[in-house]
Chain A
Amino acid sequence: MTLQQKYTERIEKALAKYPDKRSAVMPVLHIAQEEYGWVSPEAIIEVAEICDMDPTQVKSIAGFYTMYSKHPKGKYWLQVCTDLPCALRGADQFYQELLDYLGVEDHGTTTDGLFTAEHVMCLAACDKAPMLQCNFHYQESLNMEKMKSLIEEWRAEAQKK
């Protein structure tokens, strides 16, 4: 099933917001990413057709913004903010401990394909550091203890599905 078929309503709604189709490229890319887990070359072509753009133009948009992943990620995409305000509250150490716990390198994915861990730039939650976003949902005021139980929750959730 194509994006257009599966998400007809959401895509129509996105297109209706703007006077031209091109402006919907970001919301439609978000839908593509949600569906495929990353912005694949096939997804780029689908988005280009929906937004009446050239695939090259869509690819340049996808490449410009960090939230569109150019590679497949783990089922749970963990993005830890390590910018200055978070780092002053121990985010670098937290991130390193998370990597060690998952047994991955910076920007690495666990062998079971469940978790990808990355550090990212400011997420506007500096007062609640260390923090991360998991698949774009915020988890704040973290420590490794909390983090371990979250990881367990996600592991259990993944097994159920």
Chain B
Amino acid sequence: MNILLREKDIPNIHEYDVYAKNGGFAGYKKALGMKPADVINTVKASGLRGRGGAGFSAGMKWSFIPQTEPVKYVAVNADESEPGTFKDRQIMENNPYQLIEGALICAYAIQAKAVYIYLRGEFWDLGAELDKCIEKAYQEGWLGKNIHKTGWDCDMYTHLGAGAYICGEESALLNSLEGKLGQPRVRPPFPAQKGGGLYGEPTVVNNVETLASVPFILDKGPEEYLKIGTKDSPGTKIFCLCGNIEKPGNYELPLGTTFRELIFDHGGGIPNGKKIKAILPSGASGPIVPATDAVLDTPLTYEDMGKIGTVLGSASIIILDESVDIVWAASKMTKFFHHESCGKCTPCREGTYWLDRVIDRLMAGKGQPNDVDLINNIAKNMVGVTLCALGDFAANPILSTIKHFPEEFKAYAQAQAGIEEKKTASPAARTAKGNEPGTPQGRAGRHSPATSTPAGD
């Protein structure tokens, strides 16, 4: 069932006329005939949860906006940068008007003055296409002054980032929009509150997929949405499937679909007859889980992921097959967070730097006996002590890989002083990919300390 990836059922839905002919803007039209508060209640009743990662009730988020404030904003989070995530891009490329419609419903519900779509800078071509769609929406009277004679004015703009993962964090996104460094803000005040949002005004920040889900809810009613998925995780979700998988891509399925169905029925299983070893359900930022039968039979919902010690996040599912060296994978993820740490909070800035250094040392066969304890300890000291979730995210690849695959780390820690040969011969070595751990090629992701932290430039 495709509520979001409708191009799979309707060719050319990226064109305005095709979108309009297939129920496009019906939800928005309905909303414009309702009181704004009723629109919020409708979305609340649908149980729609934020698709950017946190899974917070979208309607609830909207209801936090103080209606007494004259200026309010909507910021669309299209900064999609989590390794393994490529769903928002597909929505915007193939069904752009649905995002525009959803964002407008949100804007009407909170009576926003303007909508800013914050696109990651690399979505350069996409931004130009979206600008054309926004222009068309103005021409059709969905945007501008006194929209549909409601007395409400609203504008919509795109804004291109310039390559910073942190700008997907909502308060950093707002700073970046304001022309400041994309670093997170101290909260409270939260974005929904006066003083916490864009230019200090109450602001709703929602992910592309969240907003693109809204037109269906308004058009068909929340009860129809609640029929899909589970009680606590209603609706469909786009699962980004990548890594060692036969058919990588985006799959829109009801929440509650199991890993097994997703990976084997839809994704075609693991290539080259290999076995599945582990799953990263939420890109690099969520804890890894070994692909046991119990895990594979777990329904993909916000509530069930907690039971297996991970998170659904944005459902960027990276599959690792049996040949993958977990320490190498942890190193790759650590390099990512090291590069992307914004440098504001000490535990994250210093922690990612040292994690990267010590893992490199381990993989180069120069580890010290207590290195595994050392990185575990560094990671523990990054959790819950930073302004945004990136500190926790950066700790996850280390804490969860050591928890589930301690023997692979130990093998590296012991592989020093003349045990080099043993290491290259171990099954963990990534000879299948032509990458041996510790060689420069296998660590192409490495940055020198002097250029690694953006803020350090």
Contact = CB atoms under 8 A, between A and B. Distances in A.
Contact of A60 (B181, B318, B434): B181
Interface stretch (B50-58, B84-92, B361-369, B388-396): B84-92
25 contacts: A19-B199, A23-B179, A24-B179, A25-B179, A64-B164, A64-B182, A66-B163, A66-B164, A67-B161, A83-B83, A83-B336, A84-B284, A85-B83, A88-B324, A89-B242, A89-B248, A93-B434, A93-B441, A95-B444, A122-B82, A124-B80, A126-B85, A126-B318, A127-B250, A137-B124
A44 to B, nearest CB: 13
Given A23-B177, A26-B179, A83-B332, A126 B240 contact: yes
B444 A96 contact: yes
Counting from the closest, the 6 A-B pairs by CB-CB distance are A65-B162, A66-B163, A63-B457, A127-B248, A22-B179, A67-B163
B248 A66 contact: no
Given A92-B441, A93-B441, A119-B444, A85 B84 contact: yes
Nearest to B324: A88
A27 B86 contact: no
A124 B122 contact: yes
A26 B159 contact: yes
Interface in B77-123: 80-86, 88-89, 116, 120-123
A36 interface: no
A30 B442 CA distance: 33
A87 B333 CA distance: 11
A51 B433 contact: no
Contacts of A61: 179-181
B397 to A, nearest CB: 9
Interface in A137-160: 137-138
B249 interface: yes
A17 interface: yes
Contacts of B457: 63-64, 70
B445 interface: yes
A60 B265 CA distance: 49
B122 A51 contact: no
B455 A64 contact: yes
Contacts of B124: 136-137
B233 interface: no
Interface residues of B, number: 64
Given A25-B179, A66-B162, A20 B320 contact: no
Nearest to B434: A93
B122 A136 contact: yes
A89 B441 CA distance: 14
A17 B181 contact: no
B162 A29 contact: yes
B45 to A, nearest CB: 32
A83 B85 CA distance: 12
Contacts of A53: 179
A72 interface: no
Contacts of A82: 444-445
Interface in B309-352: 316, 318-320, 324, 329, 332-333, 336, 339-340, 342
A128 B86 CA distance: 10
Interface in B438-457: 441-442, 444-445, 454-455, 457
A67 B165 CA distance: 12
B60 interface: no
Contact of A26 (B176, B319, B433): B176
Contact of A17 (B159, B242, B454): B159
Interface string A65-101: 1111010000000000011110111101101100000
A55 to B, nearest CB: 14
Contacts of B250: 127
B332 A84 contact: yes
A51 B179 contact: yes
A68 B457 CA distance: 12
A126 B122 contact: no
Contacts of B340: 121
A92 B442 contact: yes
Interface in B163-203: 163-165, 176-182, 199
B415 interface: no
B293 interface: no
A127 B164 CA distance: 21
Contacts of A95: 444
B80 A64 contact: no
